[in-house]
Amino acid sequence: MIEAVRRIGDYVQRTQGGGGDTIATYLENPNSNDTYKAVLIIVLKEKDGDYFFSRVVRDEFKNPSLYLYKKGPSNGTDATPTSMVASKLPRTFDRFLRWFENYEEYKISDDEKDTIKKMSTALKCHKDKILDEVSEKYAQREPNTNAIITLGFEKGDDYSHINEYPLFAKILLLQGKGRYSYKKSQGTSLGENRICCLC
């Protein structure tokens, strides 16, 4: 039985390129049911190490890897600041903002925590304005479709997606690994630079 599980794992790694610490291992497609066609991107501008709210952009859903989406618990936040609008837009927006409040929990450097704190401050300072713009853009979506909310950054006259900011990919990897290696009742079980005993 264990040998059969190992062979299945080998097959998946060969055919789908799985295994290792790749982002693709932990990503989920928020548009897997083909109804989340709109993407509401809250764009921040970075200047001299500080962040400022710039605008909200409505875009069409493209490649799932652009948004670094990984679903989190229903009463918590997602792994990155990308959330699917489930029932009520203001509630999803609050879930998006709460992600930035959890920066102390992330196993990242103090400088990276400070960066997230600065982003959080920029978003909170303009919370009402951002929600108004997000609501306006959300209302422009096609009938019978839904949207995701994510973060973006000014890049000249355009913007970049969250996947172009390595800090968020790092957090996604850490959050993804944590889900598989930590159980409240047993603690952490994680080998460094190792392959599981089945592999």
pLDDT digits (tens, 9 = 90+) for 120-153: 999 999 999 999 999 999 999 988 889 999 999 9
Average of per-residue pLDDT across 99-107:
87
Q: Which burial class, exposed, middle or buried, applies to 57 when counting CB atoms under 10 A from its CB (0-12, 13-18, 19+)?
A: middle
CB 24 within 8 A of CB 12: no
Which residue ranges make up each domain of the chain? 26-178
pLDDT digits (tens, 9 = 90+) for 20-64: 557 777 889 999 999 999 999 999 999 998 999 999 999 999 999
Which residue carries 């997602």 as its tokens? 78
pLDDT over threshold 70, residue 179: no
pLDDT over threshold 90, residue 118: yes
Per-residue model confidence (pLDDT) at position 55: 96
Distance CA 118, CA 44 (A): 11
CB 51 within 8 A of CB 45: yes
C-alpha dihedral (42, 45, 49, 51), degrees to nearest 10: -50
Per-residue model confidence (pLDDT) at position 182: 47
pLDDT digits (tens, 9 = 90+) for 158-178: 999 999 999 999 998 887 765
Cα 50 versus chain centre, distance: 21
